[in-house]
Chains A and B, each alone.
Chain A
Amino acid sequence: MSVKVIIPTPLRVYAGKADSTEVSARTVGEALGQLTSKFGDLRKHLFTEEGKLRSFVNVYVNDEDIRYLSKENTPTKDGDTISIVPSIAGGLL
């Protein structure tokens, strides 16, 4: 399935300044895997060392948050758009 992945601004420097890319994937997990295979430097910013999606990385399939779907097992179909959107957090401790 041909899926478009929107790359958030802070990660575009690791993707040749591209704001999106096309991948072939049947699930969100496959799409993110294809993305990080294509652009290896993205991986550490999207995933923990244990391979889990970082908590401040929000992934949407056509505007639906995958947390409310099947997470990385969410199926994708031709023409879907996957958006990676940051949330921002911090604190003094």
Chain B
Amino acid sequence: MANQAQLKISPELADKIRAYGAQTYPHECCGALLGRDTEVADRRVYREIHALHPLVNRRDDSPNNRFSVTSQDVLDAEKAARQQGFEVVGWYHSHPDHPARPSQYDRDHAWPWYSYIIVSVANRIPEEMTSWRLSDDRTEFESEEIGLQRVAS
């Protein structure tokens, strides 16, 4: 993938994702990441997360280990992003009592370009948070460094 991206998110938004994971435990939480990509002088791309758009996990048949959002949810998230001057740049979800590592199922259902933030939640306590992007050939997820810092509006 050209232009290795780094994800920037404020500590407050990162804590919100953790809180959502704790609130929905033992179910998986999910939502959209709203922000923008910025290319800097050396062709590196920074992805800044400016807001979250929490969504309902539509997998009420198996919410402990699956999440899904519908195409209408995606359209609603995109509209919310546009209204705030951003775009949907990725998605977050939690892994209850499971490491913050993408599963085969995550990979099989992933879209390229998006950032996928995963937070591990053990006994309602949020733990590790990681971010991933699907490789161009769909064979793997590539880890994306999360930079905790305030992002300029």
Known: A13-B112, A90-B91, A93-B66. 5 other contacts (CB 8 A): A41-B136, A85-B75, A86-B111, A88-B91, A92-B28
Decide: A87 near B103, CB < 8 A? Known: A10-B113, A11-B113, A45-B138: no
Minimum CB distance partner of B120 in chain A: A92
* Chain B residues within 8 Å of A85, by CB: 71, 74-75
Q: Are B65 and A93 in contact (CB under 8 A)?
A: yes
What would be 6 A-B contacts, judged by CB atoms less than 8 Å apart?
A55-B109, A89-B67, A90-B91, A90-B93, A90-B105, A92-B96
**Chain A interface (Cβ within 8 Å of chain B)?**
8-14, 41, 44-45, 55-56, 58, 85-93
* Chain B residues within 8 Å of A9, by CB: 78, 87-88, 113
Bound complex: CA of A12 vs CA of B136, how far in Å? 12
Number of chain B residues whose Cβ lies closer than 8 Å to a Cβ of chain A: 36
Bound complex: CA of A29 vs CA of B26, how far in Å? 41
**Residue-wise interface mask of B (96-108) relative to A, using a CB-CB cutoff of 8 A (1 in contact, 0 not):** 1010001101100
Interface positions of B from 61 to 100, Cβ below 8 Å from A: 62, 65-71, 73-75, 78, 87-88, 91, 93, 95-96, 98
Minimum CB distance partner of B102 in chain A: A90
* Chain A residues within 8 Å of B87, by CB: 9
